[in-house]
Amino acid sequence: MNIDLLCVECIINQAQRVGDTLNVDEKTSVKLIKNAKEMSKSFSFSQTPPEVATPVYEKMAEILNTDDIYKEMKDRSTKKAQSFLPFLKQTLQNSKNLFVDATKMAVAGNVIDLASEVAFDLEEELNKIFHTDFAIDNTQQLKSSLQNASSVVVLGDNVGEHFFDKLYIQTLQELFPHVKFYYFVRGKPIINDVTLKEAREIGFDEVCEVIDSGVVTPGFTYKMATKKAQELFDSADVIISKGMGNYECLSSSHKSPIFFLLKIKCQVVASSLGNEIGSIICLQR
């Protein structure tokens, strides 16, 4: 999925949000926004939004003299997400449709996105997610694919959300014990996406094999992945892709089947999927 003019506007707005979130001085804020505007003049409309946004975030990190812009925010997201685990575990334990509810839970975690056009409250989403229908519901196709799979790659997205991903994979392992799962993370900090560091901090590697994809964009850009990541991606029977960034990068992928689990948080993705902002999606490509 390539960028359009709304993506350009969004990326410039993200520069302002970075300044506001980090409470930088006015001079630095102006510099961040000016830099984004200048870089936007050379954006290629043949690239995906994550590919275009990455150099902008790298430059912002340089201006802010850090290699992890949202480190403190990621720490807070981790603590907040962790606090909901007892509720989620109890809900799944009492579930009458464990597979669908676990999949909804995985999507609920996708609201933890510091680069989205629209912000959602995690607690509010969790209170309603199990009573909300998927706007695109391919959960039965996903279940059938997992029943016949031997290896599955789950593409991680945001920090905080990775707690939900861990619980989701644990649930899938109970339901499909014959499947070997791999969890892909980013190659280095970009926005608030999960890396090997955050995954290991919560013991994710005790649940399944965690793969540093080598990808530095906020979405799985296949051509940037390590050889190992590409081989696992290509050989997997099923890909479960979390979040909008991964959808933007893989909506026209060579791989099949890919199941996209996400909450729509911007108009461009809403238009692409033919649904409204706020909708939850389980789509087989």
Report the pLDDT value the prediction gives residue 152, as an integer from 0 to 100. Answer: 98
Report the pLDDT value the prediction gives residue 203, as an integer from 0 to 100. Answer: 97
Please identify every stretch of the chain with a pLDDT value under 70, giving residue numbers as ranges.
Answer: 115-119
Q: Report the C-alpha gap between 267 and 276 in whole angstroms.
A: 8
For residue 49, cis peptide bond before it (omega within 30 degrees of 0): no
Q: What is the CA radius of gyration of the chain?
A: 18
Report the pLDDT value the prediction gives residue 117, as an integer from 0 to 100. Answer: 62
Report the pLDDT value the prediction gives residue 110, as an integer from 0 to 100. Answer: 87
Whole-prediction pTM value? 0.95
Token output for 259: 């199941």
Can you tell me which residue has the tokens 């016949």? 148
Q: Report the C-alpha gap between 120 and 44 in whole angstroms.
A: 30
- Summarize pLDDT for 103-124 with one digit per residue, the tens: 999 998 888 877 666 667 888 8
- Summarize pLDDT for 202-236 with one digit per residue, the tens: 999 999 999 999 999 999 999 999 999 999 999 99
